[in-house]
Amino acid sequence: MYKKFINLITKLVGLFYSEKFLNYLILFSSLLILTFVLSSRNFLFQNIIDNGVSRINVVAFKKIEIEDIDKTEAKKRYESLKVKPVLKPIQDDINNNMRKKLGAELDSIRQIRELQANSSEKRNKIKNLFNIDDQDYFINHTIDYLYMCSDAEFSKLAVNALAVLNDALKEGIIEADLIDNKDEILEKHIPASFLRTQSLAVAFLLNNILEPNMKEDQTATELAIQKVLSEISPVMVVYEKGSIVVSAGERVKETQKKALKQLGYNVNQLDLIGIMGILSLVGLCLFTTIYYLRNFADKFLKIPYTALMALLTIVISIFAVSLPQTISVYVVPIPAIAILLTIFTSSRVALLITMLILIMIGISLQYSVEYIFVFMLGAIIAIFTTNSVNYYRRMDMVRAGFDVGLIQMFVALVMFLLQNNTENLDIGVMVMKMFLGFGNGLLSGIIALGILPLIESLFKIITPYGLAELADHNQALLRRLQFEAPGTYHHSLMVSNLCEAAAEAIDANPILARVAAFYHDIGKLKRPLFFIENQSYFGIENPHENLTSRLSKMVITAHPKDGVELAKEYGLPSIIHQFIIQHHGDSLVAYFYKQAIEAEGAENIQEEQFRYSCPRPSTKEAAILMLADAVESAVRTLKNAEPEVVDEMIDKLIRERLIDNQLSESPLTQKDLKTVAGVFKRALRGMQHHRIKYHEDILEELNKKSINGIKQAQLQSEIDIKVAKLRENAQKHSDSGSGHDIN
């Protein structure tokens, strides 16, 4: 029972310290911290509205213009009601039918006028004609006029009625107006010059025959309304600098909320539902990141990378939330995050995380489309430019920030022009936004450059910049290697050249391969004189001659583990440790194995006893280092370094490593191996070049000729001196008149 309890505790402790548990802990902590940070703007900073009422007096620190949407919409509704419907004629011959009906009515009334009957009978006949039972005075008076007026007046009435009908038909009559406004239609077309009785009579005649002759063209009417609405300017509310936007205790209207938002105040009241919304948003973004990493970039799910990405996200969120309201959002160094993530992870991971950060911050803090768009393009350019920097020149990162600044400046200009017109164009504001966009990019490059070494040291993640520093031959370990193991140092230089060229040829990491090659044999510093490349330099005998094969094997195979200990002691990054421990894998120490067989007999020796006890290469770069290390050492021992011999040796060594399964855990393909072999062959041909070999007889002959030439030159020199002296004496005698001639 006690043992089971101890085992359970041990498992729980192991789980607690496992990488998987720590990753989950980092993600859960990030979820809570980001939710708190992004929500804090609402309940810790600048929350000035309580139940719709302002807590404080807010004074505008700049001039702002806000559209009053309610008034603008009311204005649009009013103007749209003033638009007359666009009509189109009904296809039937309705106009002629109404004219015929009017003619028929007039003929019937004319016939009644001609009857020999009293007034009462004529009135009743006309009522029956129009189907009227009403005893209204005005109707009876109008009917009496129809049969009592003179023929001239009746003829004039007929002409006027037809004219009014034609006017109404020309303007157009729709069914809706006919139902609701028939009297208004007639009154509108009856001339004011008509007498009251004549007007009533015309209306009486036309009242029964009017029908719709037009119908509304809804499409054309809608277009007309839209045209009118497009010409309506919004109703703006202007708050001058120094004016009160909202007073303490005043209920805040929608227009005032917009003004407060432009001034940088938070106008949202965040309750539990709002916090759950932010929690869901952050959770969705984190889930998207983890899903992508697990499926497409699982190497970045290790604790240092997960912690780094979480920390950068949290820091930039805190920076954005705590930003004073009077300062522009352009000071948030979003491109710096993109640059750092590109250096520490990859361009795709950097793009994904930067976009998700923009989504979280933009939605939670209500950033405008302008800021989101500027930062989005700035981050994309930052990722592109960072991929092309020279890691041996740190100032290239500042240049990348400069490029980002130019792009953000241009995008800020574009967004400003899209959001403004000639009436409210403020050149000063435009220039300020362009300047802030440029400054944001440049500042991001400087921030990334300054914080890079701190992150490298904190998370122990090696970057190309860190590798470039490790490649400096003034590093302590490399200096020790130069003086304490010069042969190993020279060997490491040759191997580094091979590794860099091969890694570049197969799209591996050439900088990492080169730097790892510099340090792969540092374990030999523990016992440098036991390695043959150093023995000739110091001019000593081989100490292995005094050791058994088993002891020699132990000394030789210890150098990878010794190298890891030295690497830890000198603070080399863990990725270099992998190269040191893996560059021999579990390969056979063939020389001492064969020596042991000769000394003890094959039946007493097991091959496993003479193998390295190290892991096999797990990356392309480590596999290249193993091959380059073996090839360079072997080719250096060749007495006949002809190109054919070198090529054969390289193929043999790679084939042996392949058959021995030393490359089974590396991602190198057959095509990669063929490419690597080709690179090695070209490089080693250049290293093993030949000098002209002179024959000994030729050398002796040349020496003799050289000696004879020197003697002849000396003799000629003595003769020249004597001749010069004779000439000098002859000149003296000539001057004294002796008359001697030396010629």
Instruction: Please spell the DSSP secondary structure of 26-89, one letter per residue.
Output: HHHHHHHHHHHHHHHHHHTSSB-EETTEESS-EE-SS-EEEE-HHHHHHHHHHHHHTSPPPEEE
Mean pLDDT of 538-550: 83
Q: What is the pLDDT of residues 404-446, one digit of tens each?
A: 999 999 999 998 888 776 666 678 888 998 999 999 999 999 9
Q: In the structure encoding, which two tokens stand for residue 688, read together?
A: 């093993």
Residue 738 φ/ψ region, left for φ over 0, alpha for ψ in the -120 to 50 degree band, beta for the rest: alpha
**At 239, which helix (H) or strand (E)?**
strand 236-239
Cβ atoms < 10 Å from Cβ of 228 = 14
Range of 70-74, 162-166, 659-663 with top mean pLDDT: 659-663
Q: What is the pLDDT of residues 474-522, one digit of tens each?
A: 999 999 999 999 999 999 999 999 999 999 999 899 999 999 999 999 9
Q: How much is the pLDDT for 258?
A: 80
Cβ atoms < 10 Å from Cβ of 272 = 7
Q: Which residue has tokens 């399964």? A: 661
Q: How much is the pLDDT for 729?
A: 53
Q: What is the pLDDT of residues 193-241, one digit of tens each?
A: 677 777 888 877 787 777 777 777 778 888 888 888 888 888 888 888 8
pLDDT at residue 726 is higher than 60: no
Confidence of residue 733 (pLDDT cuts 50, 70, 90): very low
User: b/e map of 633-666 (b: 16 or more CB within 10 Å)?
Assistant: eebeeeeebeeeebbebbeebbeebeeeebbebb
Query: Which one-letter DSSP state was computed for residue 234?
Result: P
Q: How much is the pLDDT for 577?
A: 94
What's this model's pTM, rounded to 2 decimal places?
0.62
pLDDT at residue 616 is higher than 60: yes
Domain boundaries, the chain: 33-43+270-458, 49-68+235-262, 88-206, 466-629
Arithmetic mean of pLDDT over the chain: 82
Q: What is the pLDDT of residues 266-291, one digit of tens each?
A: 665 556 777 888 899 999 999 999 99
Sign of the four-CA dihedral 13, 14, 18, 20? negative
Instruction: Please spell the DSSP secondary structure of 353-404, one letter per residue.
Output: HHHHHHHHHHHHTT--HHHHHHHHHHHHHHHHHHHT--TT-THHHHHHHHHH
Q: Is residue 670 classed as helix, strand or coil in its secondary structure?
A: helix
Mean pLDDT of 573-584: 93
pLDDT at residue 538 is higher than 70: yes
Selection from 377, 372, 308 nearest residue 344 by Cα: 308
pLDDT at residue 737 is higher than 60: no
Q: How much is the pLDDT for 406?
A: 95
Q: How much is the pLDDT for 369?
A: 86
Q: How much is the pLDDT for 581?
A: 95
Q: Between 5 and 32, where is the model more confident? A: 32
Q: How much is the pLDDT for 109?
A: 83
pLDDT at residue 65 is higher than 50: yes
- Helices 272-296 and 347-364 sit at what angle, rounded to 10 degrees? 170
Q: How much is the pLDDT for 409?
A: 94
Selection from 708, 704, 685 nearest residue 696 by Cα: 704
The radius of gyration of the chain from alpha carbons, rounded to an integer in Å, stands at: 51
pLDDT at residue 303 is higher than 80: yes
Which of 123-127, 281-285, 344-348, 631-635 has the weakest average pLDDT? 123-127
Q: In the structure encoding, which two tokens stand for residue 624, read together?
A: 């290249």
Structural contact between residues 328 and 287, judged by C-beta atoms closer than 8 angstroms: no
What Cα–Cα distance (Å) separates residue 127 from each residue in 114, 186, 201? 16, 21, 13
Q: How much is the pLDDT for 41?
A: 67
pLDDT at residue 379 is higher than 90: yes
Q: How much is the pLDDT for 126?
A: 78
Q: How much is the pLDDT for 443?
A: 94
Q: How much is the pLDDT for 702?
A: 47
Confidence of residue 626 (pLDDT cuts 50, 70, 90): very high
Q: How much is the pLDDT for 166?
A: 85
What Cα–Cα distance (Å) separates residue 597 from each residue in 57, 404, 421, 588? 96, 67, 92, 14
Q: What is the pLDDT of residues 676-724, one digit of tens each?
A: 999 999 998 766 555 444 444 444 544 555 455 444 555 455 545 544 5
Q: Is residue 737 classed as helix, strand or coil in its secondary structure?
A: coil
Q: In the structure encoding, which two tokens stand for residue 32, read together?
A: 């809570």
